[in-house]
Amino acid sequence: MSLNVTALETKHLELGATMTDFAGWNMPLRYTSDREEHTAVRERAGMFDLSHMGQIRVEGPDAGAVLDYSLVNILSGMPIGRARYSLMVDQAGGIIDDLIVYRNDDTDFLVIANGANRLTVADELTSRSAAIEARVAIQDNTESRCLIAVQGPASLDILLSIIDEEDRAAVAELGYYRHGRYALAGVPIHLARTGYTGERGYEVMADANAAIQLWDIIATAGEAHGLQPCGLSARDTLRLEAGMPLYGNELSRDVTPAGAGQGRVVKLDHEFVGAQALRSHGDPATSLYGLVGEGRRAARAGSLIRIDGEDVGEITSGVLSPTLGYPIALALLKPGIGEGQAVVADVRGKDQPMTVTALPFYQSNN
C-alpha cells in the first residue's frame, strides 16, 4: 500500500531527510540530527511540515451547534479569531482524538485533527451533524492544503520580515491561540499562533499549490536567524519537554479525559456525545504525571512504575531530555500520588529511580 505524501515531499527529499511512515503519510523524521533540530527550536527557530494533520472545515448556520454536540467543550460561544483545544470522545467517554478548533466567522470553523485520526474525526462530525439534523457542510480539505509550522524564539522576527507590510502590525500583536488571514510575500495564508513545542510558534496554512513557494520563502528569511528544517523526532522531544500529551501515547479510546489528565477541558453542563458516560464515571483509574530521573538512561513507553513494590501504572512517553540533560517521562499512574514521590521504573529489566514532578518539565520565557 502506497503512502500519502504532502505537497512538500520533493523538498524533503531534496534536503536529504530521513523519511518514515507516520499515520500512513511519508514524513520527514529528521534532516540532520534529532538533538541539532531540537536545539534549533529551543534557541533559534525550526520549521516543520505538518501537512499530514487533518484540516476539516465545518461551515453553515449550525456549525457551532455541531461542534458543541461533537466535542467536550463549548465552541459556539468562541469569539471570531480565537482557537480552542478540545477533545472528541466516543459514547463510552474514551478519547477519539484531541484537536484544535479555529473560528473564522459566525458560521465557519476549522478543525485541526491528528493525521492518524482525521478520517475518523471527519466521519464522526458528519454522522453527529446528521443526528441533530444540522444545517452544515463538513469538508476534509487536508489533501488540498499545506501546514508549515515555524517554532522558536526567532519565529516572529522571521515571519515579520516576509509578511506583507499591511499585515505586519496585526501579526506582531497576534496573541496565543489567536489566528487570522494575511498575506506572506503576496501568498494568501491562514496564520495561527498555537504550537506544540513549548516555544513561541506559528502555523502557516495555505493552498497545497503554494507549499514549496512558502517553504522556500520562510527558509530564506530564516537563514539569518539560524532556522533549520525539523522532523517528527524533534517535534516529539520538544512536546514532551513541554508536557504536552500525544494521541496514541497519553491519549486513546482506552482512557477518558480525566484519566489522561485532561479533565479541565470537559464542560459537562452541555449535551455532547459521551457526556452521559463521563457524568456517570466515578474517580478516574489513572492520572497524568511527570517523572524525572538521574543519569542518562531514559525510561520508554511501556515501562512499568512501582511504589514500594506495587505496580501503580506505566510510562506513556519517555526521553533523555536534550534541553535539561536528564531523563523525563509522562506516565499514567494511580491518582493521588504527590509531587516529590519517589518511584521506580522498570527500564529494560533494571530499576531506574525517578521522582514525580510538576508539569511542564520545561517552560519557555519567550
Residue ranges of the binding site for substrate: 203
Which residues fall within 8 angstroms of residue 351, CB to CB, at 6 or more apart?
344, 345
Task: Lay out the sheet containing 187-193: strands in order across.
Answer: 178-184, 187-193, 201-207, 145-151, 46-49, 228-229
Which residues fall within 8 angstroms of residue 1, CB to CB, at 6 or more apart?
none
Closest CA to 249 of 203, 295, 303: 303
Rounded-to-integer distance, Cα 242 and Cα 284, Å: 24
Phi and psi angles of residue 151, each rounded to the nearest 5 degrees, phi first: -125, 140
The annotation places the binding site at 203
Torsion of CA 30, 36, 37, 39, to 10 degrees: 160
Rounded-to-integer distance, Cα 159 and Cα 137, Å: 33
DSSP string of 27-74?
EEEESS-HHHHHHHHHHS-EEEE-TTSEEEEEESTTHHHHHHHHSSS-
Which residues fall within 8 angstroms of residue 68, CB to CB, at 6 or more apart?
74, 75, 76, 270, 272
Contact indicator for 160, 170 with CB cutoff of 8 Å = no
Cα angle 293-257-318, degrees, rounded to a multiple of 5: 20
Rounded-to-integer distance, Cα 125 and Cα 114, Å: 14
Q: Would you state the cell numbers that stand for residue 9, as one nine-digit string?
A: 515531499
- DSSP 8-state assignment for residue 106: T
